[in-house]
Amino acid sequence: MFLAWKEIRYAKTRFSLIVGVLVLVSYLVYFLTGLAFGLAQDNRTSVDKWEAQAIVLADEANSNIKMSVLPQGLIQDIEADDVAILGQTASVVSRDEQTEAEQEDNRISVTFFGIDSEQFLVPNIIEGEMFNKDFEAVADISLKEEYDIEIGDVLNIAGNDEQVTVVGFTENARFNVAPVLYTTISTYQDVRFEAIEDSDEGRVSAFIIRDDDLNSVELGNEDLELLTISEYIEEIPGYTAQVLTFALMIIFLIIIAAVVIGIFMFVLTVQKSSMFGVMKAQGISTKYIATSVVSQTFILSVIGVLIGLVLTIATAMVLPSVVPFAFNWYYNLIITVLIVLFALLGAFFSVRTVAKIDPLEAIG
| Amino acid 97: pLDDT | 66
In a domain, 230, yes or no: no
Asked if 201 and 270 sit in the same domain, the reply is no
In a domain, 217, yes or no: no
Mean residue pLDDT across the chain: 83
Asked if 190 and 290 sit in the same domain, the reply is no
Asked if 196 and 244 sit in the same domain, the reply is no
Asked if 179 and 99 sit in the same domain, the reply is yes
Q: Which one has a higher pLDDT value, 323 or 138?
A: 138
In a domain, 221, yes or no: no
Asked if 204 and 299 sit in the same domain, the reply is no
| Amino acid 95: pLDDT | 83
Within 10 A of 126 (CB to CB), how many other CB atoms are there?
12
Query: Which among 160, 190, 211 is the end of a domain?
Result: 211
Residue 129's DSSP bridge partners are none
Q: Give the global pTM.
A: 0.79
The pLDDT of residue 99 is above 70: no
The pLDDT of residue 98 is above 70: no
Asked if 90 and 39 sit in the same domain, the reply is no
Number of domains observed in the structure of the chain: 2
pLDDT digits (tens, 9 = 90+) for 51-88: 999 999 998 888 889 899 999 888 888 888 899 999 99
| Amino acid 199: pLDDT | 43
**Which residue range(s) make up the domain with 164?**
54-211
Q: Which one has a higher pLDDT value, 57 or 216?
A: 57
The pLDDT of residue 190 is above 50: yes
The residue type found at 255 is I
Asked if 261 and 322 sit in the same domain, the reply is yes
Asked if 129 and 37 sit in the same domain, the reply is no
| Amino acid 271: pLDDT | 72
